[in-house]
Every structure is written in C-alpha cells, then in structure tokens.
Structure 1
Amino acid sequence: MDEEKKNNEAEGRKLMENALKSVHEVKVGDVVTGEVLAIDEEKQLVVGIENTGVEGVVPFKELTADRNADINDLAKVGDKLQLVVLSTIGKDKENGSYLLSKRRLEERKIWDQIEEEYKAGHTVKGKVTNNVKGGLVVDVDGVRGFIPASMVEDRYVEDLSQYKGQELELAVVEIEPSENRLILSHRAVVAKEKEAEKKALYEKLQPGDIVEGKVARLTNFGAFVDLGGTDGLVHVSEISYDHVDKPSDVLKTGQEVKVKVLNVDPDRDRISLSIKATLPQPWDNIEEKAPVGAILEGKVKRLVTFGAFVEVFPGVEGLVHISQISHEHIASPGEVLQEGQDIKVKVLSVDPQQHRLALSIKALTENPHAGEEEEEGRSEGGNRSYRRSSERSGGRSERQPRRNDRGGNRGGSSFQSRPAANRGGSSNAKVSAPGEEEEDTGFSLGDLIGGALDQFKSDKQDDDSQDDNK
C-alpha cells in the first residue's frame, strides 16, 4: 500500500509539472486562441485563453465594425476564435484578465496583405463609406483608408458625394499600419487605364473614320470630344456649316456627338475632328431647295467689287452681280448693301456641280425707267435705219457712239464704259480691288458682266441682219 501510494503521488506531481509547463505567459500583442465560454449582458464574449488557464473578454466593437450586427450571429458558446491581446485588465474585473480583439487581428492580416500588394505594385479595391472635407473615406476589407480630393480623378470633381457607396480600384500611395495610415489614389488607376486606351485608340483610328464621342469641355476656339481613351479637338470652324461665334452656343458638356476624324498625330498627341463633316452637304438637293425663279431670304456675307455674296442656306452662298443689285447705276455694291444685311433675292440660275448660284435683287423691284427705255429703244431703232441708209447712199460717215439720257453707252459700248473692276474674266475670273488679294469667284465671264454681253450680241445681230438686206 505504501509503495502504491508513493507511485500515485509521483504520477500526480508529474502531471502537475506537465500542466505547468503547458501554461504560456500571455503578453500584449500575442495572437491566442480563445474558446467562447459565455455572452454577457453587455454584448461581449467571455473566453478562455487556450493553454493559459486565464480568461479574457472580447467587447462587441472588437468583434466587428458593423454596429448593426447581431452578436449571436457572430459567435456562439463553444466557438474557438483567433484573437489578439490588446491589454491587461485589472484583477478586480470579474470577466477576465485580458482585453482581446477579433477585429484588430483581422485588420492586421489585411494590413499585411495590403502592404504586400503595395510592394508588388498591385492595386486594391475599396468601398467608399463617406465623403468628408478634402476627400473620400473608404473601407478596404475592414481597413479604413483615405483618398484625397486631388487623387479622386484626373480632373476636378466638384461633388464628391456621388462616389458614396461605389467600389473603386485604388493604388496604394502610403501605408503605415502602426499609425493606421492608408492613403489611396483613384486618379493613378484612371490615368493608367486612359493611357492604355489612348494607345489602342491611336493604333486603330484612321482619318475618314466616323465615330461617336462625348463633349468633354468647351473653349473659345472649339470643343474637346472624349473618344473613349483620349480627347480630340473639333475646331469652331468644324462645328457647323453655319457661322458659330462660340462653341457653347450650340454644344453642351456631356453631349453625345458624331464626329469625323480629319487627322491623327500620335507624336503631338493630337486628333482633329469635324462635326459638320457628318452633316448633310449644304449643296445637296440645291435644285429642289433653290429652283430657278424661287424667291429666298438671305444675308449679305461679303461685298466685292463685282457684286455681293449672299448666304441663302447654311454653307450655301450665291452671287448677286453688281448689275443685278439695282436698276440705278452704282459704282460699287457698298453704295446700297452692307455686310450682315438681311435681303430677299431671286434665283436666276443654279449649277449644283460647280456650286454656283446666280441671284438678283433688282428682279424683285419695279424698274422706274421701264417707260423711258422703251422710248429710247424706238428712237435708237430709227437712228440705226438712218445711218445705214446714209451708208448705202455712199456716205463715208462712221457710226457715232449712242448715248442715253443718263450718259451711259448702250449695246457693246456699255460693256466698255463699265469700270474694269466690274467686268468679268475667264471661267475662273479673279477680280480684285487695289490693295486686295485676288479671289477665285467660281463664276464665268457671262456670270460676272451680267446682261451687257447679251445686249452687245443682240445689237450686233441687228446690224448684221440689216447688212444682209442691203
């Protein structure tokens, strides 16, 4: 019996020694395993720290960051949790000797993961939880991060509240786990994406392509259109066939537009675009819009020595020759017309292929000298008969210049008495005033000298007919 008793005591001492050896000292910062023993009235877990023989508590806020969560959904009696020791608790506390946290341990793991992604040059994803003065607050798998306002986009953003609730891809700018400091950037991700999109766009975009885009911003000289990777410029002259003073008069930021690619220059990072090139051509169906005899409203765009160019449709200008401006003799169109003046004109002829439109102002007004000209016509007819009779009788007298009451020569002489600037030229006549550059009018000689040539031919035919009857 005595020997058996001694053996039992020895075995007990050995078990005690082994138990004491298995008890580890608990230190702040240690990661321990805790078994849930109870959930108290203050919504905190009472746990036994494995291999220590001591207990600790896990407050609700150290269990989760979600204040609306149900603690009974997060843990149950008997569950074993990985916890980190935050601090010791006074010995007078009933529910344990150590303050433990599950949330902080998870955050520590996340911090380590974020730091690894940062060192590898990778991005992370975060959900915007709030917008504050100066930037956005985001949650990255439970870790609080901050995006300064200047790092939200590659442009100025006036209203940051629009990002609340969005999940963004972010680049890590600065990380310091010991200070819970995590600075992130969405702008860096956007810039990288746009650079890749720009490269792909320059590779596939060709002059002549018609694509869709969105007006990104407006300036005094044009509109920048986002093509989905980079911006192209629509110069103010390429917005419309009609005159545009300011792009903002006809376009709005964010407006969807169709554009034609005019030029692509990757070296200078420039893309030239046109909106008006996608619109119907101004001269299309011009014979239907402006048939001969039609009366149209127009605006005087330019005054030149031989007439006035009048815009009757956006991008469509016609010429009112100086002889078609007034029934009265005028030395220059500026005597009766002004640039910008609204007038009515009558269509005399249409040439769709050559983009020519001959117009008249005087055709819409009554000729105050109609009666006088009829009388002069009869008188001159008699004079011609007299002169021809004199020649047949052997007279040597030459024909004398015929002048009307207003001092102007008629027939062929009227063309010669007209100032040189008012005469036509070849089929591509160029007429300029002193000091002005010559301008290709696109009108023929007959277009520019009006009815003078026809009158000259008519008089000559009369003369020839009389001679044939001699």
Structure 2
Amino acid sequence: MEEKMEERDEITQEELKSIYEETIKGVSPGDVVRGKVVAVTDQEAMVDIGYKAEGVVPLSEFESPPHVGDELEVYVKTLSHKGEGPLLSKREADRIRAWKQLRESFEKGTPVTGKVVRRVKGGFRVAVGGVEAFLPMSQADLRPVKNPDELLSKEFQFKVVDLNERSSNVILSRKQLLEEELEREKTAFWERMKVGKVFEGKVKSITTYGAFIDLGVVDGLLHINDISWKKIKHPSDELSKGQRVWVKVLDFDKDRERISLGMKQLTPDPWEKVDEKYPVGSRVKGRVTGIVDYGAFVEIEEGLEGLVHISEFSWSRRIKHPSEVLKEGDEVECVVTAVDKENRRLSLSLKQVAPDPWETVEERYPMGKVVEGVITRIYPDRALLELEEGVEGVLRSEDLSWNRRVRHPGDLLQRGDKVEVKVLGVDVERRKVRVGYKQTKPDPWDEFLRTYAEGDDVRGKVSSVTDFGVFLEIMDGVEGLIHVSQLDDRKVKDPREVVKEGETLSAKIVKIDPAARRISLSVREYKRAKEAEETSKFMDTQSHGEGFLKLGEILGKMINRENNK
C-alpha cells in the first residue's frame, strides 16, 4: 500500500515539472517581448517576461521611474546577467519599435508623432520613439519660423521624407504634412463655397484699398467700399489687425483662389427706402463729415450722406468757402431738397430751414423808407450792409454824399458802422435792396433850383482844376463846370495857367441839366455881359455930359472890383 503511494507521488512531480516547463515562454536574446513590472529598486526595475526568472531593466532607461503593475515592451539582451535573470532594455525596444514605425510610415506615407527636443545647425532634432530624426528649419512650418524656440518640447506630426537605417539617418518634414492637410481643407472649402455664404474670419492685414480676411484656408479681400454703407477714408477707421469679423461672399474665382467679401451687405442698405423715410421738404438732423470747395457732406444716418451745396448755405451771405460757416463734426439741421435713389444722391439745404426773407421784402422795404443797417463789407465802388438776417443792402459811392465826390466808400465808412439809409429800390430777382445815405439829408439841388436859373451870375470857390476845365463850388453840395473854352476870350491851353484851386471866381450860368445834375458855367460870358453892362452905363454917362474915359479902363476897373468882392 505504501509502495503504491510513493509511486503515485513520483508521477505527480514529473507531471508538475512538465506542466511548469510548458508554461515558460521560448525567450531568446534579441527578442522583443512584453512584460510587467513586479518590483522597483533604486537602480533597476524587475520585469516578468514569462521566463523562469524575472529580468532587470536599468532605471536610467526610463524618463520617469515605472510603477509596479506597469506593462511595457523590452529587448532581451541576455538570458542570464550576473548569475541571475535576463538583462533587458527598454531603450532598445523603443528604438526597434520606432524604426519599424518609421519604415512603415516612409513606405506608406503615413505621419509619425515626434517631440522636438533641441535645436541644431540648420534645424531641429526630433525624438520619434527611441530614434532621433532631423527636421530642417525650412520644413518646420508652412511659413518661415520667426521664433524657433517656440517649437521646443512640443509634439507634432511629421512626414518621413528620407530614411537610412544603416546610418541611422531620418529626415522629417512638418511642412509637407501641413501642405497636404491644407490642400484637403481647401478642396473641401471650395466644394461648399457659394455666393452669399457668410463666414467668420480674422483681419489678417490692412491696406489703403481694403483688408485681407483669413477664412481659415483661404484669404478673401474686403474692399474699402464694402466695409460700411458710410464713406470711410481708410479701412483702419473701422477695422484692426486680428479683429474677428463676419463677412459675406460677393464673388469668387476658384481657379485663381480669389474671394471678394463684404461686411456692409450683412446690414440693410439705407438707400433702399430713402425716398420714403426722407421725402423732399422734410427736415433732418445730421453731422458734417466732409468739407469741399463746392459744399459740405452731412451724414443723416450711418451710410446715408447728403450734399449741402454752397449756394444752399445762406439766403443772403456770399460765402467763398464752406469752411467759413461749417467744420467737420458740426451738428446741423437741414431740409431735403432732392432725392436721387438710383444714383444714391441726396441734396440738402441749410438756408431753407428758415423762411426766405425775400418773399415779403418789398412789403417790408417800400421805396423811400428810412431803415438802419450795419456795414458788413466795403468795396471800391460800394458798401454792403445787413438790413436784417438774410437781407442785404447795396450802398453805392454816388449815394453817400450830396456835396463831395467819394472816391472810395472807406473814406467815410468802416465795417461795423451803423447807418441810417433810405430805400431807393428793390430787385427781388437779384436779391438786392439799393439804399442811399445822402438821400436821408436835404438835397442841395432843390435849394439851388429854387435860387438860380440859367443866365444868373454866381460866385464860388474853385474846388478842382482839370485838363478840361475848372469845377466851381456854387453852394454846399452843388458844383458847376467851367469848360476850358469858357475860361477866357483868349485860347487857354492849360486851365492851371489862369486859375488855381481855392481861388474865388465869378461866372454866368449858361445851362442847367436837373436830370443829370449838371451846371455849365462861363467866365467868358460873364465878362462879356459885364462889358455890355459897362458899355451901356458909359453911353448913359456920355449922354449926361460926363467926362470921357476910355472904354477899356472902365471895363478893367469894373471887373477888378467884381473879382475883389
């Protein structure tokens, strides 16, 4: 019985040994196997690879110490190390796996993942598993890399463009991979592109004629005219680099990869209902946005500007330039005078906000009415004065004084003077009121005509001497002309030879022209009349027996007495 039991025990041990040997994997040096960390010491990790003894991996091959239970692939260097279990290498296993992956990627054109570890001459070193590959600087991105250090310690996908396992040389390209990606995205982008589609983009750059908008894979042009319905001087007035904007596709050319974009098209066109919103005659308020030689532009709402022509600034003022009245930024009230929806033109008026003062000017300024005005401008032949807001009077030089010839109105008037004038006439069509200053005073001609007639003798002071004759002041404000031919019986070539300014003379009135306010005088006729008078007296004296005197002496004494009075 006992013998049978011992025999049975021996069979059981053999069976157990057989079963144990069957469970041990066939492991050989050079194999890459999978194992599990069972213990970790200060210098090594114990890894169970299914062999009869645990293998060891130096901790220096780990980026960070492993944990018990971690699974990993290792390379079998030897099956016995220092009389103990197998010597394993994680680093070599990573390298073999990496080369396998690199070969497959190179052959199939699939991307690999790597980490940029450091900069080298001409590029970077990239860790792909256990293999370091070279990434040329020109292949690091789609565009030249401005700051290479920004790529360090970052993981990217790369394309293997060259591989030599014998020399351990691998060349990568991130640029090619990005270009292929971009082409795929572009294809998808253009397949769904259509006019009217709306995108969100980013302002990439700004020029004088517009802005380029980054739509992701393609840039589009946003022209300055399509940024806003209102007029803008430069795109930077509305946009800034990096700004996110919504844009609408207006047109595109797939072959040339060009897209025209619009921002204003995403909002209603203010000109669409301009004639309904701003009919002719309506009053509007706006802001002056521009000054030009011929007028001013006024924005009455965003994207809607009207022109106030310089002729529509004032009912009466002559404005040389709009800047005399307005400046950019001024808030103004205007009247709509014309709407041209088709040509997108709006005409405005400043002056029509107030009633036209000339509609009733004839009633307010009847002929002969004396009014007060303020001198606003002075010209060589006239002065202008403001009678009221919008009504201007014209005061001519000849209407300034009865008794003196005014060479320039500035001799008597200054800008800002208040003067009383009489209305002489109203020209509504030319918008002028003619006024006179001297007409507010008595006319010396009236007194002259009451006092003198043709044939009367006058005595006065020489006020001026000219080549053609002498002006003689008969009374205050009244002058007569003694023509050079009427100065003496003898021929006078130059009046200055016989008469001086300021000298007192006697003359006869030979002609009066009241309409032209002209008086013709003659010294010659005066002398002849006196001669005839003295002759008559002489004849009377002779007939009464008085002594004989020479006629010449008598006349000479008489003329001298007359001129010395």
**TM-score, with normalisation over the residues of structure 2?**
0.48
| Preserved CA contact (<8 Å) 2:362 2:426 | no
1:362 shift after superposition = 2.3
Distance, in Å, in 2 between the alignment partners of 1:255 and 1:194 is 23
| Equivalences for residues 316-335 of structure 1 within 5 A | 316-330=304-318, 332-334=320-322
1:232 maps onto 2:229 in alignment: no
| Preserved CA contact (<8 Å) 1:212 1:256 | no
Counterpart of 1:210? 197
| Preserved CA contact (<8 Å) 1:214 1:254 | no
Return 5+ residue gaps in structure 2 as ranges. 1-27, 369-391, 396-424, 432-565
Counterpart of 1:358? 347
For 1:220, which of 201, 207, 214 is the aligned residue? 207
Distance, in Å, in 2 between the alignment partners of 1:226 and 1:269 is 13
1:104 shift after superposition = 0.9
More strand by share: 2
Distance, in Å, in 1 between the alignment partners of 2:136 and 2:274 is 58
Distance, in Å, in 1 between the alignment partners of 2:310 and 2:32 is 103
CA offsets 1:393-417 (integer angstroms, 9 cap, x no match): xxxxxxxxxxx95499956677xxx
Counterpart of 1:111? 99
Counterpart of 1:43? 44
Distance, in Å, in 1 between the alignment partners of 2:267 and 2:148 is 38
For 1:122, which of 87, 99, 110 is the aligned residue? 110
| Preserved CA contact (<8 Å) 2:298 2:308 | yes
1:69 maps onto 2:66 in alignment: yes
The residue identity in structure 1 corresponding to 2:270 is P
Counterpart of 1:260? 248
| Equivalences for residues 154-169 of structure 1 within 5 A | 154-155=142-143, 168-169=156-157
CA offsets 1:358-395 (integer angstroms, 9 cap, x no match): 3222245698889855434x559xxxxxxxxxxxxxxx
**CA spacing shift, 1:246–1:359, aligned 2, 3 Å:** closer
1:189 maps onto 2:206 in alignment: no
Distance, in Å, in 2 between the alignment partners of 1:372 and 1:186 is 86
The residue identity in structure 1 corresponding to 2:288 is K
Counterpart of 1:199? 187
Counterpart of 2:442? none
State the secondary structure of the residue aligned to 1:69. Answer: coil
The residue identity in structure 1 corresponding to 2:207 is N
| Preserved CA contact (<8 Å) 1:49 1:56 | no
Distance, in Å, in 1 between the alignment partners of 2:324 and 2:98 is 84
| Preserved CA contact (<8 Å) 2:213 2:220 | yes
The residue identity in structure 1 corresponding to 2:70 is D
The residue identity in structure 2 corresponding to 1:316 is L
| Preserved CA contact (<8 Å) 1:300 1:343 | no
| Equivalences for residues 69-468 of structure 1 within 5 A | 69-74=66-71, 83-85=75-77, 93=82, 95=84, 100-126=88-114, 128=115, 140-141=128-129, 143=131, 151-155=139-143, 168-177=156-165, 182-206=170-194, 208-221=195-208, 222-284=210-272, 286=274, 292-301=281-290, 303=292, 305=294, 307-330=295-318, 332-334=320-322, 336=324, 340=328, 342-349=330-337, 351=339, 353-354=341-342, 355-364=344-353, 374-376=363-365, 405-406=393-394, 410=427
Return 5+ residue gaps in structure 1 as ranges. 1-25, 76-80, 381-403, 415-470
The residue identity in structure 2 corresponding to 1:60 is L
1:69 shift after superposition = 1.6
More helix by share: 1
CA offsets 1:73-102 (integer angstroms, 9 cap, x no match): 348xxxxx862539998xxx5557x85424
| Preserved CA contact (<8 Å) 2:126 2:134 | yes
1:243 shift after superposition = 4.0
1:111 shift after superposition = 0.8
Distance, in Å, in 1 between the alignment partners of 2:271 and 2:232 is 19
Distance, in Å, in 2 between the alignment partners of 1:164 and 1:84 is 33
Distance, in Å, in 1 between the alignment partners of 2:233 and 2:37 is 80
1:273 shift after superposition = 1.2
| Preserved CA contact (<8 Å) 1:290 1:347 | no
Distance, in Å, in 1 between the alignment partners of 2:185 and 2:38 is 57
**CA spacing shift, 1:34–1:268, aligned 2, 3 Å:** closer
The residue identity in structure 2 corresponding to 1:83 is Y
Identity %: 31
The residue identity in structure 1 corresponding to 2:57 is V
**CA spacing shift, 1:406–1:118, aligned 2, 3 Å:** farther
1:259 shift after superposition = 1.6
Counterpart of 2:57? 58
Q: CA RMSD in A?
A: 5.0
Q: Which moved more, 1:210-219 or 1:343-352?
A: 343-352
1:193 shift after superposition = 1.9
| Preserved CA contact (<8 Å) 2:224 2:235 | yes
1:232 shift after superposition = 0.7
The residue identity in structure 2 corresponding to 1:73 is D
Which structure's relative contact order is higher, taking Cα pairs within 8 Å and 6+ residues apart? 1
Distance, in Å, in 2 between the alignment partners of 1:379 and 1:135 is 99
**CA spacing shift, 1:54–1:281, aligned 2, 3 Å:** closer
1:123 shift after superposition = 1.9
CA offsets 1:325-375 (integer angstroms, 9 cap, x no match): 112243755473577463513123464744443322224569888985543
Larger radius of gyration: 2
1:176 shift after superposition = 4.8
Distance, in Å, in 2 between the alignment partners of 1:136 and 1:365 is 79
**CA spacing shift, 1:349–1:131, aligned 2, 3 Å:** farther
| Preserved CA contact (<8 Å) 1:299 1:312 | no
**CA spacing shift, 1:40–1:269, aligned 2, 3 Å:** closer
| Preserved CA contact (<8 Å) 1:301 1:310 | yes
| Equivalences for residues 27-38 of structure 1 within 5 A | 30-31=30-31
| Preserved CA contact (<8 Å) 1:286 1:352 | no
| Preserved CA contact (<8 Å) 1:153 1:187 | yes
| Preserved CA contact (<8 Å) 1:309 1:320 | yes
1:68 shift after superposition = 3.3
* Residues paired across the two proteins, number: 347
Distance, in Å, in 1 between the alignment partners of 2:211 and 2:79 is 62
1:43 shift after superposition = 2.3
